[in-house]
A = this chain, B = another copy of it.
């Protein structure tokens, strides 16, 4: 950590800040420049409560951080990369690219079983489906809740696919964990800290979606909340950030993939359905994500998007999903991985 003082800082100011730095547990080294005095603080600044507090001191202009603020999520913790097993023989972060597919919402038993069978035939490795749905408007379909979980579990049993579903509230963690193989945290909940803490106390794999307003640093700090409670099985999911562009629902931040891979050991998957909002843009974004180094994909598939209770416009029909999977294999090969 480096503390830059304001122009014209006096000896007593420097001394005051120096002392405070010592109190915080660092070893201060004062250096007077031509225009400014800076104080280098030797010590581990990660995992400290709010070093920025020094900026509240009158003589301080700004505090510059040398290290990233996360520790357990950092690449240095596990340079070889973490593998997260999510079901029989399905591992996210290994040599194989993992594809999770299914409808936005579970609507009824025959729908979810039908989709499950079709995505399995096309080569998907896991089934997604929402039972608890976060919706912008209170009048939109809110999901089938526990009934939806049961249907999803049934579809999982019938196909052998591990199931991935969202949990929205700390109160529901226990229930959802009974049915799901992977618990998903939605974009709007990426900084729902009570939820993250609760999930950190389970032993289930967590699929953590980046919020549409979340920086990469904040995203890794959200993962840190889960890791810090003892659950090492976190899968990061880039799903588009909010920008000024409105031609797509969000802007898929594809460069986040190599950035996350450089900064963290956690596996990274991509959700091109929510990112773009239109099914026709989904296949090219799937190919791009794998080309950029993603470990997997989560894709919305619906047998009848026009009747879907949510997100129909961004869902692929099963035949289009199948076609995408066939093309995908070429890109998977190009990156030297397997599907």
Q: List residues of A whose CB falls within 8 A of some B CB.
A: 2, 4, 7, 20, 29, 31, 33-36, 38, 40, 42-44, 46-50, 52-53, 55-57, 64, 66-67, 69-70, 76, 134-142, 168-172, 188-189, 191-195, 197, 211-213, 215-218, 221, 224-225, 228, 241-248, 251-259, 262-263, 275-276, 279-281, 284-285, 287-293, 305-310, 312-313, 315, 327, 330-331, 333-335
Q: Which residue in B245, B287, B327, B334 is a CB contact (below 8 Å) of A216? A: B245
Chain B residues, Cβ within 8 Å of A259: 247-248, 281
CB pair A139–B67 under 8 Å, yes or no, is: no
Residue ID in chain B nearest A57 by CB atoms: B306
Q: A291-B290, A291-B331, A310-B50 are in contact. Are A134 and B193 (CB under 8 A)?
A: yes
Could you list some 14 contacts between A and B, CB below 8 A? A20-B306, A29-B31, A34-B44, A53-B313, A57-B306, A135-B193, A137-B221, A188-B191, A241-B251, A243-B243, A245-B253, A246-B246, A252-B253, A333-B334
CB pair A244–B48 under 8 Å, yes or no, is: no
Interface of A is mostly: mixed
Each complex incorporates copies of this chain amounting to 4
Looking at the assembled complex, report how far the CB atom of A238 sits from the nearest CB atom of chain B, in whole angstroms: 11
Chain B residues, Cβ within 8 Å of A66: 4, 33, 35-36, 38
Q: How far is the CA of A327 from the CA of B292 in the complex (A)?
A: 12
Chain B residues, Cβ within 8 Å of A136: 191, 218, 221
CB pair A334–B287 under 8 Å, yes or no, is: yes
Residue ID in chain B nearest A261 by CB atoms: B284
CB pair B292–A287 under 8 Å, yes or no, is: yes
Q: How far is the CA of A169 from the CA of B51 in the complex (A)?
A: 27
